[in-house]
Amino acid sequence: MEQKILKMLPRVLPDWYAVHRRELPWRQDREPYPVWLSEIMLQQTRVEAVKGYYTRFLQALPTVEALASCPDDRLMKLWEGLGYYSRARNLKKAAIQIMERHGGVFPRKYEEVLVLPGVGAYTAGAICSICYDAPTPAVDGNVLRLTARLCNDPTPIDLPAQKAKVTAALAAVYPERAGDFTQALMELGATVCGPNRKPDCERCPCRDFCLGAKLGTAEQLPVKTEKQKRRQEDKTVLILSCDGSYALEKREDKGLLAGLWQFPNVSGRLTAGEAVVAAEKMGLKVREITRIAEKKHIFTHIQWNMQGVYMEVAEQAGDFAWFTAQRLQQQAALPTAFRQFWEGSQNV
């Protein structure tokens, strides 16, 4: 890592950030609770998708204490559609831990923040630097891409050793205004030197000392190790309705989408006749199939290829919870994989 190049960053980034930063709702103050919430929501989720969720969540649960005491179903409803639901469960676990171990006051020490459920080195670094001006780098894909280009470093950025190396190198150059520096690194790596597009070197405050720009290698960097292909799984989803109510069931407490509501479903791609037989085995009498829809949902390592079979049934039987449309909309947290079939049923 070219330390002499990284030493240039504190000279140019804070002033650049003050002029060019985006106005985002979580940048309005430096209180740890909203900063923590925003960092968890932003994990693997686009900024534009988070804005509305962040504002609604903070209005509903404005304090650590409110989060710690929030019923699980309400918490999941607030998170509905944002994905990676373990983040919400860990938020509540961490809030309970803060109430029990720290008297409801968010901890200030990096080591204490790091042990909170759902918090890793990046999130702990972001909170402690932004809120407390601690020299704790928050190194994610954006920062790793930026430093790879600055230093013309071909080392794969998804290697843990490379992340540790970049973290240590940045910690050594942190200025007193640590919070502004952390956010400036994030901002530059997300915008001017952002992902999936050509770096905008003409607008970059680092163009005079960036090796990738000087050597013409910036567009080829960063390097990543080859990803494994996603596993493909076929599923048949049964959207069962009776007198304006819909059959839902809870997923198991462990594993993918743990503890969330879902429409009944079975593995494999069933014909219409096989879907009727499957519903009958669940204790239901099918009156008619109203339509069939094709959907898919992509997780990090798995892709669900989903066929939704919409059925009218004779009575609200079977081992299900039956929700009216209004109750389902207001109370049931349906993950996006299944919610897309619900939204489809309302648009017919």
Name the residues annotated as catalytic. Answer: 39
Q: Do residues 126 and 152 lie in contact, with contact meaning Cβ atoms separated by under 8 Å?
A: no
Structural tokens at position 215: 């050597």
Residue with tokens 């972001």: 126
Cα–Cα distance, 344 to 246 (Å, whole number): 14
Cα–Cα distance, 257 to 334 (Å, whole number): 10
C-alpha pair distances (Å), 11 with each of 18, 170, 263, 333: 13, 13, 55, 47
Q: Do residues 212 and 154 lie in contact, with contact meaning Cβ atoms separated by under 8 Å?
A: no
Cα 101 versus chain centre, distance: 27
Angle at 64 between CA 62 and CA 68, to 5 degrees: 110
Cα–Cα distance, 82 to 85 (Å, whole number): 8
Q: Do residues 104 and 96 lie in contact, with contact meaning Cβ atoms separated by under 8 Å?
A: no
Q: Do residues 265 and 304 lie in contact, with contact meaning Cβ atoms separated by under 8 Å?
A: no
C-alpha pair distances (Å), 118 with each of 97, 113, 139, 142: 12, 10, 16, 20
